[in-house]
Chain A
């Protein structure tokens, strides 16, 4: 049996992967929205492809935040207070994003709708970039002091590696969003989405190579785990899934293509998780790293939380599948559509 702290390292990873796969596609759809859909009819097709599900997708982030607080409170405290300004920008974007679709649909005027379309695009782009920059910084290590408090500056967060990972994250969500639109829309929207999927995938592949090579040279710590042969399963699956996605996308089996890229996203998170473990936030330089052992809650709390997850998540996954199945197939607008 794995130690509870490790189980929770995995579970937080699973929640973040669930978030990246699910909210990933609607963040991507948000960024692509203005480019792939021109008329209001086309835009409604795009919006209704994510309308029923985006809120549920975003709950994966809130669950991840809550689980991080409960399982690793010191990480929650250090990272969120340390990355204060970035967090505030992220939250501001997420607030606006949450009201966009509902507000947009209520008034028919083109100016009103055009404004919310832009808000939707910007408020999808900013979180996509910021998540990546945050992950890049954590992989690289944060400047921490002996009390495990953040000891860096906001500008220090904008280092080259973090920015590359930020762009990688944008390209990843763009690809995922385009794959979703390839699956859910038809006509010109689908054609444009297919073209976007291919170019976004290329950017994703190039940025991934750059980030991987950079880490190989500059962050050897991330490669220590890969002395173990078993750890190569995730990278191999990642490369296969991402490559097959490129072959499948725009073809006759858009569902399979989407599933492939979803696997690729999950595997990319697994690759990073393996590199980090047992650190959650490595200290850059002399400070004290936040690790699964020194940042975790008590075994009782971890046990209670595990019980919650084991009881709650099967229900969540069950009814989420039920709900997605009700909206199966390509978007058909009816009088209840937005």
Chain B
């Protein structure tokens, strides 16, 4: 079997499985911070129980994220050694920064928050939740710096057979860092908010509404509206940047083959193939892609035919993943807005139909996030570093197909077990539910 193909399969398996977890923890960490702020400022006991409950779900998810993240820190060296030699002068620094500025912070203060609740003051508890939220978000920032440099390299020169850093700030704030970071964080907030609202809704469906469920339902709903709107504003910003800096990727996202003024935005079409669009029923808004990308309905958008064929990304995957992400973004915004209207009218806790909708919508942000990264990473192909190094030239020279196959089987098996156990434990925690008002105090009295 082809080594490059296997190495890519191994990478996509390990990164996609890993990235099931960080969006949940980044999103939940921020929501827990909000609950903690309310607890610290109002001293109302319901916020403490809400924060305890969500922290439990956060922790189970966090450890799986940590476990699968360890692999990523070393995988560039094991599987992509040629790439590592080429970019090490630039790419290693953000990884090290992530560890120094983010991993220590989140792991240290999470330990304090989980095990030390009896040993710290109300303020320190809040501060620890702030540091955990800051740590998870900073971690996203630094790893996105590294990824964005692969997409839109800047601040370097080619010398001694490698990319050498010439300007650190240009590396960090390369053209796609901030658009990608803001869009990723908005998506993670969406994930956290849908999880919170969906699980709270489930308690109502099961007739287990409580003060914690009410707080969570409201916070989750309001936050999903905010996050869904941010998905579109940050996504728009990000797409404009791709249109300017990665034209072939942008053309593939839109399935645009010929360069044209007034490029349409496809709402529905048969997926394009590597050789062109397929004839069939189509629904498109004329000029919208030109407008979205350049703010002018008549702007010129370059099509794939302007680029050598060997520089094209896989068109169908890029097109389909991008369009389905956008469709899901719209659906999620709709669910969130309906929730907001119900909340406004004071009917959120009674609207069973919406609660069912919210519960079944929990996976939507996750699917959209994975599709978004497929667009970003598959759309970057055939390059591993855009315009500088091809993916097929980046693999380790000394690692053969059997070794990679072994690692795929090994990680595949472990991840299957981890995934099942994670769902099992999450389900257990949810069914067990948050502590109810009064129960803990009574237990403590009885024990005393």
Residue numbers of A with Cβ under 8 A of B are 48, 51-53, 55-56, 58-59, 62-63, 65-74, 76-82, 84-85, 87-88, 91-92, 94-99, 102-103, 106-107, 149-151, 297-298, 300-301, 304-305, 308-309, 312-313, 316, 319-320, 323, 326-327, 334-338
User: B406 and A88: CB pair below 8 A?
Assistant: yes
Which of A48, A56, A91 is within 8 Å of B74, CB to CB? A91
User: A316 and B100: CB pair below 8 A?
Assistant: yes
4 tightest A-B CB contacts, nearest first: A73-B88, A70-B92, A80-B77, A69-B92
Contacting residues, chain B, for A334 (C-beta < 8 A): 118
Contacting residues, chain B, for A301 (C-beta < 8 A): 89-90, 92-93, 164-165
B283 at the interface (CB under 8 A from A): no
User: A79 and B115: CB pair below 8 A?
Assistant: no
CB distance from A147 to the nearest CB of B (A): 8
Interface hub of B78, B109, B119, B428 (most chain A Cβ within 10 A): B78
Which of B77, B101, B110, B164 is within 8 Å of A77, CB to CB? B77
CB distance from A103 to the nearest CB of B (A): 6
B 158-189 to A, binary, CB cutoff 8 A, 1 in contact else 0: 00000011101000000000000000000000
User: B109 and A70: CB pair below 8 A?
Assistant: no
Contacting residues, chain A, for B217 (C-beta < 8 A): none
Which of A68, A71, A91, A338 is within 8 Å of B115, CB to CB? A338
User: B88 and A297: CB pair below 8 A?
Assistant: yes
Contacting residues, chain B, for A66 (C-beta < 8 A): 73, 92, 95-100
Number of B interface residues at 8 Å Cβ cutoff, please give it: 69
User: A297 and B89: CB pair below 8 A?
Assistant: yes
From residue 370 to 421 of chain B, which have CB atoms closer than 8 A to chain A?
A: 396-399, 403, 406-407, 410-411, 414, 418, 421
B 74-85 to A, binary, CB cutoff 8 A, 1 in contact else 0: 101111011011
User: A69 and B399: CB pair below 8 A?
Assistant: no
In the bound complex, what is the Cα–Cα distance between A205 and B110 (angstroms)? 37
Q: What is the interface of chain A mostly: helix, strand, loop, or mixed? A: helix
User: A78 and B115: CB pair below 8 A?
Assistant: no
B295 at the interface (CB under 8 A from A): no
In the bound complex, what is the Cα–Cα distance between A80 and B90 (angstroms)? 18
User: A63 and B74: CB pair below 8 A?
Assistant: no
User: B109 and A323: CB pair below 8 A?
Assistant: yes
Q: Chain A: which residue is nearest B89 at the CB level? A: A297
Q: Chain A: which residue is nearest B69 at the CB level? A: A62
User: B398 and A149: CB pair below 8 A?
Assistant: yes
User: B111 and A56: CB pair below 8 A?
Assistant: yes
Interface hub of B74, B79, B168 (most chain A Cβ within 10 A): B74
